[in-house]
Amino acid sequence: MTVQSTPSAVRIVEVGPRDGLQNIRDEVPTATKLELIRRLKGTGLNIIELTSVVSPRAIPQLADCHAVLGDPGVQTLLKNGSPRLPVLVPNIKGLEIAVQHGAKEVAVFISATEGFSKVNINCTVEQGIERARQVAALALESNVVARGYVSCIFADPYDGPTPEQAVLRCIKALLDAGCYEVSLGDTLGVGSPSSVRALVKYLTNNGIPLERLAGHFHDTYGQAVANVWEAYNCGMRVFDSSVGGLGGCPFAPGAKGNVASEDLVYMFHNAGVDTGVDLDKLADTGVWISKKLSKANFSRAGTALATKESIKSFNTKTTTHKNVSLQWTLISKTEGLQLYRSGVNLKIILNRPKNGNALTAAMISNLTAAINDASKDPQISRIVITANGRFFCTGMDLGKGSTPVAQGGSTSDTQFERLTGIFEAIDRSPKVTVACMNGPAFGGGVGLAFSCDIRLCTRSTVLTLSEVKLGLCPATISKYIIRECGVAFAREVMLSARPVTAAELKTRGLVSDVAERSEQLNEHLDALLTRLKIASPNASRMSKELVKLAWAHAGGEKQASGIKSLFEEMMCPNSDGAHGVKEFQAGRKIDWDAYIQGLTKSKL
Ligand code: HMG
Ligand code: MG
């Protein structure tokens, strides 16, 4: 199956290397611009506006556009076509230069207002439209796609408020000229959510499709994030932003930078909306470029994340906290799975990252076998399920040719047994089971998480019970979901297929720990496993049974007799309890991992 993404996912157009830099007076070395582009690419952004090819007298900062475009690294990216790298061009001359350098996408720009049009591109609105029309037409002839910008959507620095009709006229002209979308530029950053909503409503009422619009909000009055959110709630899905909140135009005096990319990504991720961007890497890039430019970092999320990081590294340096990184050894590899071992811990890694770790029949069988084997192994105390790649697990493989859905009869029975088998194997395991979620999960992937005892996740994790959207229901996993989440919440997420974010999971106590950065997840996991050395595996097993008795037979005869037999087991002379209490009385702390390994060794 192909990787699912949340339906509300947004597209971010990073304009840092162009809008972000164009208004900076001191020359920024070309090497810094190239490094910025490289770092932005590394964050997962897949549209980065590279530079502009405009009059060097108008924008001296970007006079090195030839060097940027001609750079071998940029040339490779342009050839690959990923990320997309639009180039801002005001006229045919700019287009020709961009095309000569292999640009596959250009952005043309006009103003809805006369004053700004005159100072920015030295022509009237009508002449600007005509110029953009010619550039877009020639671009399309050269197999280059064109995006459009309309500036001053709310106000002009010289003319005052902008009539909605003027914006509409420009958008229509750019779309008619062949632009695939038009970015609405609040050049002065004077808009607020109410003006955004009113304008979007006016435009859609006048026949402009939402999917042809993008938002480009400057942050002069601190409204840019709110404006993006409002536009998102109006149905728009494409937003321009600059890392570190850089940006501005020399011909729009007093205007501040673009909405900071970090703030935008932080906001969307916390709302469960996928951006495909690694926020931590983006925040690092914001810190890096701000330092390089000796400018304040205008991203609130970026500075908050950086502060948190520096406090954390200070604490790590100044406390005697032991390095808890465990040594993991690969012990086997089967279709879509890797098994690692560290002492009494087994780590099972779902390894089908290109398919979002969607579970094939073979993977399910191998996973079930691995869990059943580990459950019988006295030298294993804990079983971890985690995954490689961006997703934890996107559920059952529903790809063509592999889906057992809609076949009925014995196929249905086999699939039922297969699925019941895997979730029961996890649920019935006497070992402590841990779901270590490196990213989003859907359907059966959520089932894997909720059949485990303990869950950790990254900030990018979003859980979605997406079955109802496909006409399915979360049948075999429902008992674990309902048990862990409670009836009301489980019902709501099953019926709505609503993405539940890491923040909400933590608030609801459904995950024990959230790693801010994906690369920190393993540290969190190793720390948890190390902490659990204080727990006897037998006592953990008995505690799991107590929870199950309470869940399935609360107040009944089975619970009472179950508690009694566990009590007797605990009180036996050769129980873990006998050893634990003896060590306690002698004033010694117990490392149960070492104890188990010693015991099993002496028994062999
Ligand atoms: P003009 O003076 O009317 O044009 O400027 P011209 O054709 O007479 O040319 C003047 C000089 O510029 C000539 O050089 C041309 O060769 C050169 P000279 O002979 O004097 O040495 N020239 C160029 N050089 C390189 N590349 C070119 C190019 N074109 C001409 N493509 C023009 C008209 C449009 C060229 C000028 O006004 C200009 O470059 N303006 C661009 C201003 C600009 O880049 N502003 C910032 C971007 S817009 C923005 O930030 C808003 C946005 O972010 C959305 C929002 O926030 O609203 C997109
Ligand atoms: Mg701008």
pLDDT score of 437 more than 80: yes
* Distance from residue 71's CA to the centre of ligand 2 (Å): 25
Closest approach atom of ligand 1 to CA 90: 34
Q: What is the mean pLDDT of residues 439-451?
A: 97
Cα 341 to the center of its chain, rounded Å: 29
CA gap 478, 491 in Å, rounded = 10
* pTM value > 0.75: no
* Distance from residue 109's CA to the centre of ligand 1 (Å): 11
Name the residue of 55, 62, 97, 187 whose CB sits within 8 Å of the most ligand 1 atoms, as the mutation to test its pocket.
55
Closest approach atom of ligand 1 to CA 22: 46
**What is the torsion angle, in degrees rounded to the nearest 10, for the CA atoms of residue 282, residue 286, residue 287 and residue 292?**
130
- Average pLDDT over the chain reads 92
* Distance from residue 186's CA to the centre of ligand 1 (Å): 20
* Distance from residue 247's CA to the centre of ligand 2 (Å): 7
How confident is the model at residue 414, as a pLDDT?
84
Closest approach atom of ligand 1 to CA 57: 12
Q: What is the mean pLDDT of residues 562-571?
A: 94
What is the CA angle 171-266-386, rounded to 5? 125
Q: Show the tokens assigned to 413.
A: 């029975």
* Distance from residue 21's CA to the centre of ligand 2 (Å): 11
Which of 123, 152, 170, 249 is flagged as catalytic?
249
How confident is the model at residue 519, as a pLDDT?
83
Q: What is the mean pLDDT of residues 186-214?
A: 98
pLDDT score of 266 more than 90: yes
Residue nearest to atom 33 of ligand 1 (CA): 121
CB 189 within 8 A of CB 223: yes
User: For 580-601, how does the pLDDT look when each residue is reduced to its tens digit (9 = 90+)?
Assistant: 999 999 999 899 999 988 864 4
How confident is the model at residue 408, as a pLDDT?
60
How confident is the model at residue 272, as a pLDDT?
82
Name the residue of 54, 238, 246 whose CB sits within 8 Å of the most ligand 1 atoms, as the mutation to test its pocket.
54
Q: What is the mean pLDDT of residues 250-254?
A: 92
Beta strands in 317-464 (DSSP E): 329-334, 337-342, 345-350, 382-387, 432-437, 441-442, 454-458, 462-464
Residues in contact with ligand 1 (CB, 6 Å cut-off): 19, 22, 52-55, 58-59, 90-91, 93-94, 109, 120-122, 149, 151, 185, 187, 216, 218, 249
pLDDT score of 5 more than 70: no
Least confident of 15-29, 179-193, 199-213, 396-410: 396-410
Query: How many other CB atoms are found less than 10 A from the CB of residue 73?
Result: 12
CA gap 243, 248 in Å, rounded = 13
Task: Considering every ligand atom shown, identify the ligand nearest to the alpha carbon of residue 241 and give its number.
Answer: 2
User: For 288-336, how does the pLDDT look when each residue is reduced to its tens digit (9 = 90+)?
Assistant: 999 999 999 999 999 999 887 666 555 554 433 345 789 999 999 999 9
* Distance from residue 131's CA to the centre of ligand 1 (Å): 12
Sheet holding 441-442, edge to edge: 441-442, 462-464, 500-501
Residue nearest to atom 24 of ligand 1 (CA): 55
How confident is the model at residue 319, as a pLDDT?
39
Q: Show the tokens assigned to 560.
A: 């009472």
Helix ranges restricted to H, 261-358 = 261-270, 279-293, 300-318
Closest approach atom of ligand 1 to CA 131: 34
Residue nearest to atom 49 of ligand 1 (CA): 249
- Nearest residue to 548 (alpha-carbon basis) of 538, 561, 559, 536: 559
Q: DSSP letters of 42-106? A: HTT--BB---B---TTT-GGGTTHHHHHH-HHHHHHHHHT-SB--EE-SSHHHHHHHHHTT-SEE
User: For 378-409, how does the pLDDT look when each residue is reduced to its tens digit (9 = 90+)?
Assistant: 999 999 999 999 999 999 988 766 666 656 66
Task: Considering every ligand atom shown, identify the ligand nearest to the alpha carbon of residue 111 and give its number.
Answer: 1
Q: What is the mean pLDDT of residues 126-132?
A: 98
**Sequence-ordered list of residues with C-beta below 8 angstroms from that of 450, at least 6 positions apart, any chain:** 435, 477, 480, 481, 483, 484, 485
Residue nearest to atom 10 of ligand 1 (CA): 55
Residue nearest to atom 22 of ligand 1 (CA): 55
How confident is the model at residue 271, as a pLDDT?
87
How confident is the model at residue 313, as a pLDDT?
59
Q: What is the mean pLDDT of residues 460-477?
A: 93
How confident is the model at residue 6, as a pLDDT?
44
Q: What is the mean pLDDT of residues 358-384?
A: 96
249 carries an active-site annotation: yes
CB 186 within 8 A of CB 154: yes
How confident is the model at residue 601, as a pLDDT?
43
How confident is the model at residue 312, as a pLDDT?
59
* Distance from residue 15's CA to the centre of ligand 2 (Å): 8
User: For 34-81, how does the pLDDT look when each residue is reduced to its tens digit (9 = 90+)?
Assistant: 999 999 999 999 999 999 999 999 999 999 999 999 999 999 999 999
Q: What is the CATH architecture assignment of 11-316?
A: Alpha-Beta Barrel (3.20)
What is the CA angle 532-507-473, rounded to 5? 95
Reduced to 3 states (helix: H, G, I; strand: E, B; else coil), residue 188 is coil
Residue nearest to atom 15 of ligand 1 (CA): 55
Closest approach atom of ligand 1 to CA 183: 54
Q: What is the mean pLDDT of residues 112-127?
A: 98
How confident is the model at residue 599, as a pLDDT?
60
Task: Considering every ligand atom shown, identify the ligand nearest to the alpha carbon of residue 258 and give its number.
Answer: 2
Task: Considering every ligand atom shown, identify the ligand nearest to the alpha carbon of residue 147 and give its number.
Answer: 1
Closest approach atom of ligand 1 to CA 91: 31
How confident is the model at residue 602, as a pLDDT?
37
Examine residue 163 and say whether the peptide bond preceding it is cis (omega within 30 degrees of 0). no
Given this structure, which CATH class describes domain 329-403+410-533?
Answer: alpha beta
The single-letter code of the amino acid at 167 is V
CA gap 22, 9 in Å, rounded = 29
CA gap 384, 348 in Å, rounded = 6
* Distance from residue 296's CA to the centre of ligand 2 (Å): 19
Q: Which helix (H) or strand (E) holds 165?
A: helix 164-176
Q: DSSP letters of 193-250? A: HHHHHHHHHHHHHTT--GGGEEEEEB-TTS-HHHHHHHHHHTT--EEEEBGGG----T
Q: For the chain, give the percent of residues with pLDDT over 90.
A: 85
Q: Show the tokens assigned to 388.
A: 């490689």
Residue nearest to atom 18 of ligand 1 (CA): 55
CA gap 235, 212 in Å, rounded = 11
CB 135 within 8 A of CB 106: yes
How confident is the model at residue 411, as a pLDDT?
67
How confident is the model at residue 516, as a pLDDT?
83
pLDDT score of 367 more than 70: yes
